[in-house]
Amino acid sequence: MTLAIILIVFAAIGLSVIVRLCLSFSKSLRLPEDASIARQIQPLDVAAFRNLIDPAEREYLRRRLPSAEFREVQRERLRAMAAYVQIAARNATVLVALAESSRTSSNPQAAEAARQLIDNAFRLRRNTAYAMFRIRLAWLWPDSNTAAGSILQGYVQLNGTAMLLGRLQNPAEPVRISAH
């Protein structure tokens, strides 16, 4: 009896997940215009982010501050880091939607740039998941290293391909995912 109930609950959860995803797939078929998708991108200050994840910066703080204060400051830095990583992940998702419309473009250069952008965006999204996990761990142990460095590299690559695609799609409105 208990086993049957567990399996029925599992099946019901599975079905509700599938139905929910089916509804979101139907919405995704009605793609909004590229311009409105591009407006969802939040430019990210790469320099500030790099400063935040700099191990030398952390070492400097560790040497200068008493350990309790260092942990408090480090947690604040981790919170900011998490916010950056979440924005990077969101931007990656928006770029997938943006590039998707160009994947079947008649222009082979645009189609290739779109494919590359999607692949880079997925890599970044995968790295953001890993980095968020490491950031949460580091929240518990503020002395440990974080894996946000790979996010920066991924983001840098993503920005390059996004700009290339933007240039091929619409030279008048370039896509920029990093703030100067």
Partner 1 sequence: MLQAHSLLWNYLWVAPNLFLFLLGLLIWRRGLNRQIPAFLAFALLSSPGQLSLYMADILPSVSAGTFWRIDWVSLTLEALLKFFVIGEIFSRVFSPYPSVSKIGKYIVSGVGALLVLIAGLVAGLSPGDSTFRLISGAHLLELTMFMVQCGLIVFLFIFASYFRMPWDRFSFGILLGFGVASCVHLATWATMTNLDLSIHQRTLLDFVNMATFHATVLIWYYYLFGRKIPPKDGAGGRGSQPPSSGSVTDLEESLHEWNRELERLIHQ
Q: Is 48 in the site for partner 1 (CB under 8 A)?
A: no
Numbers of helices and strands, H then E, in the chain: 7, 2
> Does residue 180 interact with partner 1 by CB under 8 A?
yes
Which of 74, 72, 80 is CA-nearest to residue 60? 74
Question: Mask of contacts with partner 1, 28-47, x by CB under 8 A?
Answer: -xxx-xx-----------xx
How many chain residues bind partner 1 (CB under 8 A)?
Answer: 65
Pattern 151-170, partner 1, x by CB under 8 A: -x---x--xx--x--xxxxx
Q: How far apart are CA 82 and CA 74, in angstroms?
A: 12
Q: Does residue 70 contact residue 62 with C-beta atoms inside 8 Å?
A: yes
Which of 62, 126, 147, 149 is in the footprint of partner 1 by CB under 8 A?
126
Contact 146, 81 (CB under 8 A): yes
Residue located via tokens 């919170």: 79
Amino acid at 32: P
Contact residues toward partner 1 (CB under 8 A) are 1, 3-4, 7-8, 10-15, 17-18, 21-22, 24-25, 29-31, 33-34, 46-47, 50, 93, 96-97, 100-107, 109-111, 114-115, 118-120, 122-123, 125-126, 129, 152, 156, 159-160, 163, 166-172, 174, 176, 178, 180
